[in-house]
Chains A and B, each alone.
Chain A
Amino acid sequence: MTAFLVVLVIILFGVTVFQMSRIFNMSKVKTIEGAEIANAKDNNINGWLMMMFVAFIYIILAVCFIKWWDVLLPKSASEHGVKTDQLMLVSMILIFFVGIITQWLLHYFAFAYRGDRPRKALFFADNDKLEFIWTIIPVIVLAGLIIYGLFTWTDIMNVDTDDDPMVVELYAYQFAWRARLSGEDNTLGKANVRLIEGINQLGVDESDPNSKDDIVVQELHIPVGRKILFKMRSQDVLHSAYMPFFRAQMNCVPGMITQFAYTPTVTSVEMQNDPEMVEKVKSINEIRRKNSLALTANGEEALEPYTFDYFLLCNKICGISHYNMQMKIVVDTPEDYKAWVAEQETFGAAMEKENNNI
């Protein structure tokens, strides 16, 4: 139906254009020189349209904000993310301020000085003072922004080992994720794709004693309030570990180990019960309910209702199923985390079982 409507709109539009051009052609009695050059009337109409256009820009901006404010990411669930959001807010206010003023000036001038026969343009070729002012203002503002940004950046990227971060490996391959917890010794065993064999899907080195207590999982749990140092590896092509709720992202590069660290501050349960999130999930489920109606009408299965969970997704084009490469992340209280870890099988135990079977 929609496709039909779209095609119809296009066809009608084509017809309109064709008819309009015919009218234009007919209305031209005899082509006169200068007929295609803007006259006072054109200047006037387009000048007014410029004013309407700047209004359109402001309106579309306002509408977007009012209508779609709720689609933006919820409050940050990591410690550094709060600072990032702060910096984002400052930068946003700045660019909105500059944008609104400059767009106004541009379009207002286009309207106010629209061509008119008696008007004489001002021969105004240079003004060192003005140009100095609008060079120096961006210099100062940007200097401030650069310094603010760089402090935030170094803060995020420089991992202080004194914090005793918990080391976790994120392992990417077409088209899924695995996480490897470093176990009690908090040290990951060595690994290389050349060692991939059987159930050892991550190519962990069995002979490395550090690997014994490593735990490979498909769903990552992390304790709240503890700094997590992620070490990223990729098995085949570039991937990117993007964790939007934690304002965290790092590429996974075959042949090297990259890293990113953050401290989760909001447990999954807390986030699920956050009023903003409750509202959001409600609206998502409303959309899903409507979509389900259409599906069940066609005899297809209805969509499952949605509950919020943190996730990790791939954000670097990696192949056909790039769009569905995700992993669930659960932020637990330290007690819950301990209980969860205790249930998991270590790499050493898994390999022993496997070897005994053979």
Chain B
Amino acid sequence: MSAHSQDLALDHHEDDHGHHKQSFLTHYIFSQDHKMISKQYLITGLFMGIIGIAMSILFRLQLAWPDHKFTVFEIFLGKWAEDGVMDPSVYLALVTIHGTIMVFFVLTAGLSGTFSNLLIPLQIGARDMASGFLNMVSYWLFFISSVVMVCSLFVEMGPASAGWTIYPPLSALPQAIPGSGAGMTLWLSSMAIFIASSLLGSLNYIVTVINMRTKGMSMTRLPLTIWAFFVTAIIGVVSFPVLFSAALMLIMDRSFGTSFFLSDIYIAGEVLHNQGGSPVLFEHLFWFLGHPEVYIVILPAMGLVSEILATSARKPIFGYRAMVASILAIAFLSTIVWGHHMFITGMNPFLGSVFTFTTLLIAIPSAVKAFNWITTLWRGNLQLNTAMLFSIGFVSTFISGGLTGIILGDSALDINVHDTYFVVAHFHLVMGISALYGLFAGVYHWFPKMFQGRLMNKNLGYIHFWITAIGAYGIFFPMHFIGMAGLPRRYYTNTNFPYFDQLTDINIVITIFAIITAAAQLVFLYNFIHSMFYGVRGSKNPWNSNTLEWTTENKHIHGNWEGEIPHVYRWSYDYSKLNEDETDYVIPGQDFIPQNIPLMENEEELNH
């Protein structure tokens, strides 16, 4: 199949050299070109991101000033915020949809979808994905699922509001919460389509990486980005179907009277017929995807950051093999740690012990990665471009957020911080902010590859980074404290507990930082759109990088390379490599050796 499509791509390339006129429809809409599809993913993802972040500002306002009437609520929430007082049910809907959108639509599709599509063919030296058609279908399924999710915001009884983890029975019974009516049906439909999209995409990535690497591109010469995307796709294929089965069973429970997750329920004055099901089963199924999902989100960011750190430090990534090994170790462990979300669900305590053990094990490869990144900076010649700043920021938030994971992963400690704001602070830093930093780093770095050589404005980039970096810690450091004070998450207001009155100040601080940080994202949006049309064009390799994508011309052609596909003779991290006499760089006056340059005479051969 893949060989066949490669032939097609070759034929296609030789026939018309990508110069033939494409109609608007085939070029911009139903494009099968991976570069266009990646842009479609990115822009859809960013659009969903705007919705997700705007929602977070709405509920942050509510949390900081619960008694205040905000006209902005009335504007955006309409009948759910009459006179500017937010309805408790819409508060829950906002946190639910914020979580869903950010995790799945922005950080899964927007991050992995964008950069897997853009970089896999370009960095392994392929004309396109194994199947351009499936790739197109994958994007359009994602688009449909986004549309369905956005539509669910407008249904009569409100969107899904059982939390992004949609635990039944709350999500199964419309009597339990209004959002579990039509809103939940749309949520489940949207996610089912999303899973189909993700699976098509992932299979395509796996096949492409395995089959379509150019001559000389052995697995040990792959840039770490590709390793990360490849392993991410495998985790996706392993775990997403399980979420699909959970969603399917939930649909059956909701609509066809089955009892997979329901038993012994008395609600709204009557006993339901359901008997014998267990909500804990749903939790197992959900987290069997849910936990790998956080690695689906963070691994691509790790790959992008590794690549950018090496390029901008003008140094090889430290411990390439250890980095690959730790990606594999994290991927493997990620599928056997899901129970740490369930220590206090009534699961057998012995199982809790096992999951504590595997969970804390995952800290080891993560620590190795962090140390290797830090060492990559050591004695480098750091080019502090915006992408580099975001990459350094990534390592910083990944460490901060990762360390608190040691507390949450320990079942004995989890008892008291489970479902408090401590958890919210932890996962926002380690997967939310970190993955977003990875996304931003990727956009700043590969913007020229997406938009025909145009670069984003660096000064606006610096402003964006520094405000975001300060804001992110300003939001999430204090949040640990309200968690350790015992405040549960998903509370519409804390005013019913006078004991929590002391936390009002902290909540206000958090909200102010959140507003500032969100405003900084407008700088990014402006920069992104402006640079798309008016950005300064750089050379075809503006960052002096080694990977193959920078050997293509700025102008996009279907098939990527004008002539033959380049062959690869070395790994992608030969930065600042000296010649054998150590008098100068291998190529005099140039501190990088692209992958397509054959081994030089005066150069020591390494085992890559």
A residues neighboring B (CB under 8 Å):
2-3, 6-7, 9-10, 13-14, 17, 20-21, 24, 31-38, 42-43, 46-47, 49-50, 53, 56-57, 60-61, 64, 68, 70-73, 81, 83-84, 87-88, 91-92, 94-95, 98-99, 102-103, 105-107, 109-110, 113-116, 119-127, 130-131, 134-135, 138-139, 142, 145-146, 149-150, 152-154, 156-158, 173-174, 192-194, 196, 203, 232, 235-238, 240, 242, 244-245, 247-251, 253-256, 258, 260, 280, 283-284, 287-288, 291, 303, 306, 308, 311, 313-324, 326
Contacts and interface: CB of A to CB of B under 8 A. Distances in A.
Contacts of B473: 56-57, 60
Nearest to B275: A255
Nearest to B527: A21
Contacts of A43: 382-384
Given A84-B413, A149-B413, A193-B266, A42 B279 contact: no
A254 B279 contact: yes
Scoring B61, B353, B380 by chain A CB atoms within 10 A of each residue's CB, the highest score goes to: B380
Given A34-B538, A84-B416, A102 B374 contact: yes
Contacts of B361: 142
Given A36-B457, A60-B474, A326-B497, A238 B484 contact: no
A110 B606 contact: no
Q: Which 4 A-B pairs have the closest CB atoms?
A: A255-B263, A244-B486, A258-B346, A157-B349
Interface stretch (B237-245, B295-303, B392-400): B392-400
Contact of A242 (B403, B419, B493, B506): B419
Contact of A72 (B88, B456, B485): B485
B266 A73 contact: no
B314 interface: yes
Contact of A34 (B163, B389, B542): B542
B364 A135 contact: yes
Contact of A150 (B353, B381, B407): B353
B539 interface: yes
Contacts of B374: 102, 105-106, 109
Interface of B: 61, 65, 68, 70-72, 88-89, 92, 162-163, 167-170, 173, 176-178, 262-267, 271, 276-280, 313-322, 344-346, 349, 352-353, 356-357, 360-361, 363-364, 367-368, 370-375, 377-385, 388-389, 392, 395-396, 399-400, 403-404, 406-407, 410-413, 415-416, 418-420, 455-460, 462-463, 466, 469-470, 473-474, 477-478, 480-482, 484-486, 488, 490-494, 496-499, 501-504, 506, 515-516, 519, 522-523, 526, 530, 535-539, 542-543, 573, 575-578, 591, 606
Nearest to A34: B538
A237 B174 CA distance: 12
Contacts of A193: 264-266, 271
Nearest to B519: A13
A320 B92 contact: yes
A81 to B, nearest CB: 8
Given A131-B319, A311-B497, 10 more contacts: A37-B458, A38-B458, A53-B470, A64-B478, A91-B406, A157-B352, A250-B346, A258-B346, A315-B488, A323-B494
B320 A110 contact: no
B389 A124 contact: no
Nearest to B403: A95
A284 B70 contact: no
B407 A92 contact: yes
A61 B523 CA distance: 28
A6 B344 CA distance: 40
A48 to B, nearest CB: 10
Given A196-B266, A288-B501, A121 B169 contact: no
Contacts of A235: 265-267
A20 B516 CA distance: 17
A355 B57 CA distance: 55
Contacts of A121: 313-315, 379-381, 575-576, 591
B403 A99 contact: yes
B7 to A, nearest CB: 37
Contact of B392 (A50, A123, A154): A50
A122 B176 contact: no
19 contacts: A37-B458, A42-B384, A64-B480, A68-B506, A72-B484, A105-B374, A106-B399, A110-B384, A121-B314, A138-B363, A174-B267, A235-B266, A240-B419, A244-B486, A287-B501, A288-B501, A318-B170, A319-B176, A323-B494
B412 A71 contact: no
Given A149-B410, A235-B267, A319 B316 contact: no
Given A103-B396, A134-B371, A238 B482 contact: no
Contacts of A56: 470, 473
Contacts of A253: 278-280, 345-346
Contacts of A21: 457, 460, 526, 530
